[in-house]
Structure 1
């Protein structure tokens, strides 16, 4: 058990940097890592993916709150953009989490890998430094975009950055730093409602490991959060120091690598 918890904490240390740097909540790191840890611990394969996704969402609540605070102190969070995304994001997160609890774990893993890869390639093909936001959809359209972001993010156990960062940089031409910071704020709501839904949907599930409330393993989650709280401020600091184009390229490469690992490793 000690090695398992150390593995969870090590996952958190890495995920915290990624969360602060890219605004993704760390889910693209946490979900694959938890799948490996659960496989090692012999968790039932039929619930493994749901448990990894639900636990990832629970850890992202704390991780993103830390990231938002540090980004906000640097004036990078676009609260004016986040406000209109929120209603759709929250509704989408609930719907995505409920759907994920009823989808086959292997299919969910493959779909997650394919989705992450597509977004990664899209980011790499749109390299270039963006400026201030140049296009604003209507309030209804922005809320609808939020619904898609929240639904897909909760479905795959990520904090929203995998979709909201590309949406803000590619579609709305926000700077990478603004997109990362604003994505972290949106991710708090996605993760909170998503985690609550995963707990409810898995409350009576069979073969849950000790320390689990539905599809959320608090034992694993605390180990992960112990790591993310240490390194998230480091990621935020790097995000505000690195060149914008380099940051965007690194984000795309990260997603492509994670896609390959999920689909073929």
Structure 2
């Protein structure tokens, strides 16, 4: 036994997490994303297999996803900033509102039922899927960014939705910036800064939100310390990150063999399938 847990149960959990991390890395490499849009659905299916209760399954996915995003978002932001691609003026305007939104979202996570997390994921991922499948570059609101008050309001919204969905905010901020005429490469680079602002307070918030819940499920190994802290799976974080980093280049090589439009369609279809899966889980 390790930490009072039968070795066979711990070994099965470890193998499952390593495999899930490897799948996530390949998908992230193929679709060019490293956030919760891939991590959350992969973790969800894994947690179904290992018997995580429905009441805590989705928030555990979201909290663990936010923790997984921490090292990748820091690395991504530093790389983009060194190349001078990040618009720091936008990051500075969004910094405090985004953190406020994350805190609000983490507080909601303490009391919200599982269907709230699924609903947020379905709406945001569904909009992203629609834009990927049917969007045009001509879809714009303006060629200039809006005033600071609108920017701050949107920053709070990004923080709330990202913390409930388990993403680094890139999907939301990319959508916003491209609608206001910013080039996609600058939008991606600037959005990388939000991943840092969202993932660290978000993961801490989910530790706080889920701490009292673990006591309600004393027989579920994967929810107990030291394997989990609140809604963050520690063993999931430890095993997910290295395998996903290892397999991401494999997915990236696959991506280079496909044209950009085909990748957009494939990712749009992937998000559509995930949305359908979560909608199905509402009823069955």
Category of TM-score, reference length = shorter chain: 0.7 to 0.9
Per the TM alignment, residue 179 of structure 1 is displaced from its structure 2 partner at its CA by 1.9
Per the TM alignment, residue 112 of structure 1 is displaced from its structure 2 partner at its CA by 1.8
Contact 2:24 2:42 in 1 (8 A): no
Q: In the alignment, which of 218, 222, 242 is matched to residue 226 of structure 1? A: 242
Q: In the alignment, which of 181, 184, 199 is matched to residue 207 of structure 2? A: 199
SS of residue paired to 1:101: helix
Aligned residue pairs, count: 263
Matches within 5 A, 1:36-51: 36-51=45-60
Counterpart in 2 of 1:213?
229
CA distance in 1, matches of 2:41, 2:161: 17
Per the TM alignment, residue 195 of structure 1 is displaced from its structure 2 partner at its CA by 0.9
1:126/1:181 CA distance change after superposition, 3 Å: same
Per the TM alignment, residue 25 of structure 1 is displaced from its structure 2 partner at its CA by 4.0
Matched, 1:98 2:113: no
CA RMSD of aligned residues (A): 3.2
CA distances 1:193-215 after superposition (whole Å, capped 9, x unpaired): 11111111121222233411111
CA distance in 2, matches of 1:158, 1:222: 18
Q: In the alignment, which of 163, 168, 186 is matched to residue 178 of structure 1? A: 186
Contact 2:36 2:167 in 1 (8 A): yes
Contact 1:124 1:248 in 2 (8 A): yes
Per the TM alignment, residue 53 of structure 1 is displaced from its structure 2 partner at its CA by 1.0
Counterpart in 2 of 1:54?
63
Q: Which runs of 5 or more structure 1 residues have no equivalent in the other structure?
A: none
SS of residue paired to 1:76: coil
Structure whose alpha-carbon radius of gyration is higher:
2
CA distance in 2, matches of 1:88, 1:22: 29
TM-score normalised over the length of structure 2: 0.78
Matches within 5 A, 1:73-152: 73-128=82-137, 134-152=143-161
Per the TM alignment, residue 124 of structure 1 is displaced from its structure 2 partner at its CA by 3.1
CA distance in 1, matches of 2:30, 2:139: 17
CA distance in 1, matches of 2:235, 2:34: 19
Contact 2:125 2:271 in 1 (8 A): yes
CA distances 1:64-83 after superposition (whole Å, capped 9, x unpaired): 11222333344433323222
Q: Which runs of 5 or more structure 2 residues have no equivalent in the other structure?
A: 1-9, 218-222
Matches within 5 A, 1:146-161: 146-161=155-170
Per the TM alignment, residue 14 of structure 1 is displaced from its structure 2 partner at its CA by 4.4
1:2/1:46 CA distance change after superposition, 3 Å: same
CA distance in 1, matches of 2:155, 2:29: 21
Q: In the alignment, which of 166, 171, 180 is matched to residue 175 of structure 2? A: 166
CA distance in 1, matches of 2:92, 2:263: 25
Contact 1:108 1:156 in 2 (8 A): yes
1:42/1:164 CA distance change after superposition, 3 Å: same
TM-score normalised over the length of structure 1: 0.83
Counterpart in 1 of 2:4?
none
Contact 2:129 2:271 in 1 (8 A): yes
